[in-house]
Amino acid sequence: MGSALKLEVFAQSAAVASATWMTSEQIEAARQAAFEEGYASGWQDSTDQLNTGRRSADEAFEASLQGLAFTHEEVRRELMTALHPLIMAMTTAILPTIARHGLPGMVADLIAENAGGMIAEPLLLTCHPDDQDILETKLEGLALPPLRVVAEPALASGQISRQWPDHACSVDLARLLDATRHAVETFFEARNEENSDD
């Protein structure tokens, strides 16, 4: 005869028999807890990503500001370096010429300043021999008290001394120009020291 027929066994296994079944309330509570956990996790991920984006933006902004500050300092340094020879040339070449042509005006101002205390004797102006002709020419058309221009080789070019019988005053353009040159040189030396410290 043939083979034996095997029938399927429908008895519950021990694992299935001991399993606990959840009620619909328990299923809803578990589903709600899973939703809350997923929502909190998503919120945390979003916050972390936002903070990371802000940090990246802050770092990029800070790097840009540092680059801008460096560029500004570099431009300022180059500008000061380029201006140094120009300003030094002005103080050594142009300012003496300007001062020399402005000298008669300074003398006229000095004389007018003390005009109230003048006496009948002429005012005595002493200057370097190179300045005598230009002084006499420039002072010729001005309304001034009687004066006399006298050359004095001991005075430097650009120096003038005026004397009333009881007053004396002097103008030293050479010293003024030297002081100006020194001030300009000191300014640029200080800038160079600042730049070398950076």
Annotated domain spans of the chain: 54-197
Mean pLDDT of the 3-24 span: 71
Which of 17-31, 91-105, 160-174 is modeled with the greatest confidence? 17-31
Q: Is the pTM of this model over 0.85?
A: no
Residue 72 confidence (pLDDT) above 70: no
pLDDT (tens digit per residue) in 76-101: 777 777 777 777 777 777 777 766 66
Tokens 């030094």 -> residue: 88
Residue 124's Cβ-count burial label (10 Å; 0-12, 13-18, 19+) is: middle
Residues 174 and 127: their CA atoms lie apart, in Å, by: 12
- Mean pLDDT for 13-21 is 64
Residue 21 vs residue 170, higher pLDDT: 21
Q: How far apart are CA 83 and CA 69, in angstroms?
A: 21
Name the helix (H) or strand (E) containing 33: helix 24-89
Confidence of residue 32 (pLDDT cuts 50, 70, 90): very high
Long-range contacts of 169-174 (CB under 8 A, 24+ apart): 169/110, 169/114, 171/103, 171/106, 171/107, 171/110, 173/96, 173/99, 173/100, 173/103
* pLDDT score at 45: 86
pLDDT at 148 over 60: yes
Residue 3 tokens read as 């083979």
pLDDT surpassing 60 at residue 115: no
Residue 58 has pLDDT above 80, yes or no: no
* Residue 126 in this model has a pLDDT that exceeds 80: yes
Place 160 in a pLDDT band, splitting at 50, 70 and 90: confident
Average pLDDT over residues 117-121: 53
Q: What is the pLDDT of residue 190?
A: 77
Q: What is the mean pLDDT of residues 170-192?
A: 75
Mean pLDDT of 133-144: 79
